[in-house]
Amino acid sequence: MDFLYNFFLVLHFVGWAIVLGGYIATIKQPEVYRGTLHGALTALVSGIAMVGIGEMGDRDFNMVKIGIKLTVALVVVILALIAKNRPEVAKPGIKHAIGGLTVVNIVLAVFI
């Protein structure tokens, strides 16, 4: 079970790395990096899988933290979906919101 949990943890890190790396790489461009939606979905699904696998085992989660991180991840996915499907609406504000919320999610994971 630990191997499967760690596998999804690596996928989770890779997903957020795609989102944050894409944001940083295209920070001066107005459009959102095209891999942002895939990275956010990878992080979201792998995070849900990690919680499910951890709950089946003996891991003890702070469910308030998980709920906040889930909400932030869902907002990032929704913003990335809006940016992908309606690029005329996706102003730099959406891009910076995605980058900022990604950093917030990482900070929550580390410090709480």
pLDDT in tens, 3-32: 999 999 999 999 999 999 999 999 998 889
Structural domains counted in the chain? 1
Give the DSSP per-residue string, 35-93. THHHHHHHHHHHHHHHHHHHHHTT----HHHHHHHHHHHHHHHHHHHHHHH-TTT--HH
Structure confidence at residue 87 as a pLDDT band (50, 70, 90): confident
Q: Cβ of 8: how many Cβ atoms within 10 Å? A: 20
At residue 110, the pLDDT reads 94
Distance between CA 98 and CA 53 in Å, rounded?
27
Q: Provide the whole-model pTM.
A: 0.93
Identify the domain containing residue 81 by its residue range.
Answer: 2-111
- Could you tell me if 92 and 30 are in contact, meaning their C-beta atoms sit under 8 angstroms apart? yes
The tokens describing 108, both together, are 């929550």
